[in-house]
Amino acid sequence: MERIILLCMVCTCLSAVDAEKFFFSPKWGPIGFKEREAHGDGTAMDAIIKANEFHVTGIIDGTTSLREGDIAVTAGKRSKVCFARSCLWAKSVDGHVYVAYRLSPDYTEIETKLIKKGMEHVEKGTCVKFVARTHERDFIDIQPKSGCWSYLGARGGRQTVSLQTPDCLRIGVIAHEFMHVLGFVHEQSRFDRDNYVTVMWPNIWRDRLRNFEKFKTDNLDLPYDYGSIMHFGMYAYSQDGQPTIVPKNNKNIKLGQSSSLSRIDKLKINKLYNCGDADDN
């Protein structure tokens, strides 16, 4: 009998070790997140997925939900995709697009500097300028809510941008969310994306398939941008560690960006807002 008890205890210990390996192995994490160590540098969207899968449910409140992982959509409001110029921020007579913002006092001084650094990444080489709100009716209200998310384009009045601390306070994540603020969807949402990438549907978590939908977007006569700050990473929402998006012509092409807008991202901003030649200040 003692031998049987001892054998049972050994089996129990081994089962516990196996369970620990399963639950705490680096290859396991929130849905859709692959640890950077496994596949090199992650993208801004990888960091967003990691933060949002841990902290955010599909419904932000009773009427607002997240689409594509980080785009807030309110039931009954305009379509998620900005068509024509229906949701653009107003352009000033001096040629700049001023986006007023209010920053939560809950951010520390260092966190505030990081957010402003993200703004500078969007401003550099474009006609967009982020300005602290004084009396503007339309403005973004940047808050450390749960996860990283934004509404798409200018909605009118106050609109929330969530940058949770510390998970969302990375330059690339901040710039990514501000690109949504300006009206840009994810790059692989382009209606012509199937000419450039293959979506590996069997590798995607079934309840995240909607995050890979296509939309009739205005591509502004610009080429598909594999390296856009708005592109999903190759392993976004992978259920088994296998790629979910693969470039068609060159599988060695890196998808997405970790920290900076691409050259084409900046061209998109200037073309959408008809900026002409923007300075680099």
- Which tens digits make up the pLDDT trace of 45-56? 999 999 998 777
Q: Is 55 annotated as a binding residue?
A: no
Cβ atoms within 10 Å, residue 109: 6
Q: Is 39 annotated as a binding residue?
A: no
Quote the pTM value: 0.84
Say which residue the tokens 């998006």 belong to: 245
Q: What is the pLDDT of residue 78?
A: 54
Virtual CA dihedral for 188, 194, 195, 197, nearest 10 degrees? 60
pLDDT-above-70 percentage for the chain: 77
Name the catalytic one among 53, 68, 177, 187: 177
177 a catalytic residue: yes
Q: What is the pLDDT of residue 159?
A: 95
Burial of 260 per CB tally in 10 Å (0-12, 13-18, 19+): middle
Q: Is 96 annotated as a binding residue?
A: no
- Please give the full DSSP string across 9-37, using - where no structure is assigned: HHHHHHHHHHHHHHHHSTT--STT---HH
Q: 3-class DSSP state for residue 204?
A: strand
**pLDDT less than 50: residues of the chain:** 1, 3-29, 35-39, 79, 83-84, 280-281
Go through the domains of the chain in sequence order and give each one's CATH number: 44-273 (3.40.390.10)
First to last CA, the chain: 80
The answer to whether the Cα torsion of 266, 271, 273, 275 is positive or negative is: positive
